[in-house]
Structure 1
């Protein structure tokens, strides 16, 4: 069984809501089809690690943390993933230490949420350690029991952007609320908007 994503989601830096028909055909669409679209977009844009969570009426899919510039564009690899270099091979404590020891700059985690429930962000902002753990704390695939559920007219999909800024080597990273860039810009700079449009 998938673990639950925090609900309502912690306050995010930016967001983008997708047009329902752009993610799956209107007739006979299933949540699994939407998940496949998001997985394919993550793969095409270089986000090869992600993790599934359960949310009311759907699922969440969280990316690995990446290092970005102030304009929301990612650093080239390997610097892009230096915040938790080594990825899945590292323990949660190692990943957390990597963020606390990361150089000053901007970092981002992207979470796709598909649900049939209206929600508003929780009053509290996400903590850097919490967001960093999302990629390794969930499921590696969407269970068939959720994938087979209909993607109904009441379902909608959003991208929640969690941007963190570390101002010095001696300070923890703080979530930027709001981000200087809107959600669609984050998706475009990360290559996800283009990947979703192409699929």
Structure 2
């Protein structure tokens, strides 16, 4: 079934929210989230689900994120962070050192920065809220492909999307993109599959606990 047309604003113009690649590029790990965490009460909307995700990001120290449009909903992408072998984040300031110069830039810019980062492991977490079934694209993102992604995300979810209902067919997935750069002579590459499952990434990053407690 073809994807529905992009939502429009009150003036009938398409929303100025970048599209996240669809279907999403092959990811390292994933985890479905409990519906009660995103839609704990009747009348939940995509906007209220977004607020729960933002609150979890804030509680876990992910102070920057970007919104993207996907069929039937939205995606919310984290800033790239450096992680240990057990999937726990580095302490500050090393946690965010991969893209200090990219503050305020978009998801694609931050992914691109991973290909010049110091040797190590890095992670980007993307929450996808949609009512559409999807499978990952066959291949993981490469440097040139990541550079062709959208260059910036939205700072907030547009009202035309936020007011839409979080219906019984909506669900939320956490997609984990785990990158590794083995040496300064090699580009960072996404690990497929990753070393840790999706839930472990969320727990080590503090997001699982924050979502469960919200």
Residues 142-169 of structure 1 show CA distances to partners (whole Å, capped at 9, x for unaligned) of: 0000000000000000000000000111
C-alpha distance in 2 between matches for 1:11 and 1:91:
20
Match of residue 152, structure 2, among 111, 116, 137:
137
Number of the residue aligned with 1:58: 73
Shift in CA distance, 138/85, structure 1 to aligned 2, threshold 3 Å: same
8 Å contact kept, 1:92–1:133: no
Q: Greater helix share, 1 or 2?
A: 1
Number of the residue aligned with 2:186: 171
Q: Give aligned pairs, total.
A: 199
8 Å contact kept, 2:87–2:200: yes
Number of the residue aligned with 2:202: 187
Report the alpha carbon displacement of residue 103 of structure 1 after superposing the two structures with TM: 1.6
8 Å contact kept, 1:108–1:164: yes
Match of residue 27, structure 1, among 42, 49, 56:
42
Segments of 5+ residues of structure 1 without an aligned counterpart are none
Report the alpha carbon displacement of residue 129 of structure 1 after superposing the two structures with TM: 7.0
Alignment RMSD: 2.4
Number of the residue aligned with 1:49: 64
Secondary structure of the residue that 1:72 maps to in structure 2? coil
Residues 74-116 of structure 1 show CA distances to partners (whole Å, capped at 9, x for unaligned) of: 0001100011014425699985774333221100000000000
Match of residue 83, structure 2, among 32, 55, 68:
68
Number of the residue aligned with 1:103: 118
The normalised TM-score by structure 2 is 0.85
C-alpha distance in 2 between matches for 1:134 and 1:60:
14
C-alpha distance in 2 between matches for 1:162 and 1:137:
18
Number of the residue aligned with 2:99: 84
C-alpha distance in 2 between matches for 1:140 and 1:166:
29
The normalised TM-score by structure 1 is 0.91
C-alpha distance in 2 between matches for 1:96 and 1:182:
21
